[in-house]
Structure 1
């Protein structure tokens, strides 16, 4: 079983590392390049769940979590223009969001796995992605949670601006969260294509 999980573990590790690097580079006003790589972690989890079951998927998630913790520790030691690349709030937010969202994804997938092939991966990813975005941006940037890291000034994230530049006035971090969420929703649909192809190919090979 463990050997069968190596591709999933390596893929999850690659996505986590790439996302931690690419999150440092902006894409437009509301996103970073990491927003386009991280959602595929849900694809890896769902593929592992479909092919090897929930316990195997949880092992892959734990491996990804460990890699994420290592990335956060390294990032906390690298000084950028405004301080460490990874602050305590970002580290806690990313870790809690990743673990909670991925485990929720596995649970929802299991409940729906006997239905149409697309339902389990799509619904589980949508639910997990929504929780991931809500937890990360709230923990990392909400002014209400300043007590987590009082020395970290995140007042810039609380600046009141129109939602995504066109909507009602909200804190900047809310717009960042919505933009990230919209990308996750879009990629949840896109990921159904490789999910279908990979599952079909591997299950045919086994048969």
Structure 2
């Protein structure tokens, strides 16, 4: 179990950092948290490659627990527009993380015997897409107002051109597309550290 500790700590650090940085905007469609959170998939994939599917799942569950704690803390901190973390955001964040990461683990395991890049790239692309779709739909879609009727998400459902230039859609869809694009870009970039980290860990004596 102690050999998994670096992975658990790395995942916890990414989750905590992302929960903090999501409070700060980057441009019109993103927050700084969008640039740290995708590295959670890198941690999961490294653990899966080096230690196997069971170890990767342990790291995912550890990250989920840390995320829940962060959400609970966020619900108690009141900002200018109310609690920093609403019930819908907490449910969306936790559900998206757990489902997407576990699917990432499953897809990686299925493809682990192929070329070195195929499993981390495919699993992260699938996991990132599911993560984005689940989080933004649960947190902001008007069709799910029943989850938290007292939470006004009308701002997220304002009809605007997609990313300022595309077809008209609810604002939250533009936020989702921008977030997904960052995840995909980082998935490609993360292949480099994945290769390096895995190479070093696999070269260590048992």
Question: TM-score by structure 1 length?
Answer: 0.99
**Which 4+ stretches in 1 moved above 6 angstroms?**
none
Root-mean-square deviation over aligned CA pairs: 0.7
Structure 2: gaps (5+ residues): none
Distance in 1 (CA, whole Å) between partners of 2:202 and 2:18 is 30
**Corresponding residue for residue 47 of structure 2:** 48
- Residue matched to 1:154: 153
Query: What residue number does 1:18 align with?
Result: 17
CA distance in 1, matches of 2:153, 2:52: 41
Q: Deviation per CA, 1:35-90, whole angstroms, max 9, x where unpaired? A: 00000000000000001000110000000000000000000000011000000000
The alpha-carbon deviation at position 202 of structure 1 amounts to: 1.5
Find the residue that maps to 2:204 and give its secondary structure.
helix
SS of structure 2 residue aligned to 1:116: coil
1:128-154 per-position Cα deviation (integer Å, ceiling 9, x unaligned): 000000000000000000000000000
Residue 206 of structure 1 deviates from its aligned partner by 2.8
| Structure 2 CA distance for aligned equivalents of residues 104 and 94 of structure 1 | 15
Partner of residue 37, structure 2 = 38
Aligned to 2:78: 79
- How far 1:201 sits from its partner (Å)? 1.2
Distance (whole Å) between structure 1 residues aligned to residue 100 and residue 205 of structure 2: 30
How far is the alpha carbon of 1:165 from its aligned partner?
0.5
Q: CA deviation at 1:205?
A: 2.1
Q: Residue deviations 1:6-55, cap 9 Å, x none?
A: 00000000000000000000000000000000000000000000010001
SS at match of 2:169: strand
Q: Which residue of 2 aligns with 1:134?
A: 133
CA distance in 1, matches of 2:151, 2:47: 38
Measured in 2, the distance between the counterparts of 1:37 and 1:198 equals 18
TM-score, normalised with respect to structure 2: 0.99
Unaligned runs of 5+ in 1: none
Distance 1:146 1:39 in 2: 27
Aligned twin of 1:172: 171
Give the total of aligned pairs.
206
